[in-house]
Structure 1
């Protein structure tokens, strides 16, 4: 099952947050990397064992990663920031 996060805004960017409680299974992007809309960003293994795929809501540049693989997250935790293409 795929989940798309429609992230919070900040200036010309987005704040990508976790939609579930679980642990980060994998991170598919790096800081400074250009991403496109609908690109897979991270995979989170929820407490019940299923994996949630988080997709980009817009294109831009990954500004800051605030997590690493294996980190525990809860709903609303900030995963990273994306600066939108203008």
Structure 2
């Protein structure tokens, strides 16, 4: 085999290995990126649930305090009587 053929073959092999490595690396990075999206979605869902529970607790507390002090919601600000 001639020297030019050997260099062409070697160059082709290096190019093929480099392309395979690049595609593999891109797939790994894309998979990691997609997984981070799942993690963020789970965090958002958990935060939404915490917010909903806190809202329900606040609403229940407000209802309880309004029952205990019925005049609070009906009058204006203090000092405007």
| TM-score between the two structures when normalised by the length of structure 2 | 0.15
* Higher share of residues assigned strand: 1
Q: For the pair shown, which has the larger CA radius of gyration, 1 or 2?
A: 2
Which has the larger helix fraction?
2
